[in-house]
Amino acid sequence: MKLNVVKPIQTITEASICEGEVYRIALDSFTVSGDYPLLYKSQFGCDSTMTLHLLVNKPISQVIDTSICQGQSIQSGGVLYDVAGNYALHLKKADGCDSLVTLNLNMKPIYFTKIDTSFCEGNQIQIGNNIYNNTGNYFLSLNSFQGCDSNFQISLKVFPTHQLQFDTAICEGESLNIGSTTFNQTGNYTVISKNQFGCDSIFKLGLTVHSK
């Protein structure tokens, strides 16, 4: 008779599950991380020892606070978000377990400013690094202090100033009236008044008074 002596089998099993799941081997169930020595009977009826290294992966909770500009969107888990609010996102980690992400989304405004103004020739308006001094309609887009668009629609009217040179002569004893000012002596004069737009109207007079 030939006798075969079968040595006991010793094995190591590495396993992982998500928290809330159950790992089962035969009639044994495991829910907690740890090392478990297990004794079974092999196919030959001999003792078989297995060591189970079990890792229970816990879910991760994460809070994301972020801001985007109006009209933009953010994508997470294949879903687009374009409205301010608080969102609970149930995602999967690399190990296949749940990951709970709380997304606090803030929407930063886009500003629109309409400027309808006018001024006299020689003046200007500056917005950002842009200077405007001619009649026209303009559209300007800048970045606000929050990093989003700040749009300006500018309607500008530039009114003219008038300048007139007038040389004339009168006889002694006569006078010349310009506006509310009277001139009766030889000389060069400058008279500044307002035109119909409220801008300067400059009148330069060269007057000669002839003796009788």
Token readout for 64 is: 């994301």
Give the per-residue pLDDT at 128: 87
Q: Are 163 and 204 in contact (CB under 8 A)?
A: yes
- Give tens-digit pLDDT for 150-178: 999 999 999 998 888 889 998 888 888 88
Token readout for 52 is: 């189970």
- pTM value is 0.53
Q: What angle do CA 89, 91, 94 make, to 5 degrees?
A: 155
Q: How far from chain centre, in Å, is Cα 41? A: 67
Strand (E) or helix (H) holding 155: strand 149-159
Give the per-residue pLDDT at 1: 52
- Give tens-digit pLDDT for 61-97: 889 899 999 989 998 878 899 999 999 888 877 778 8
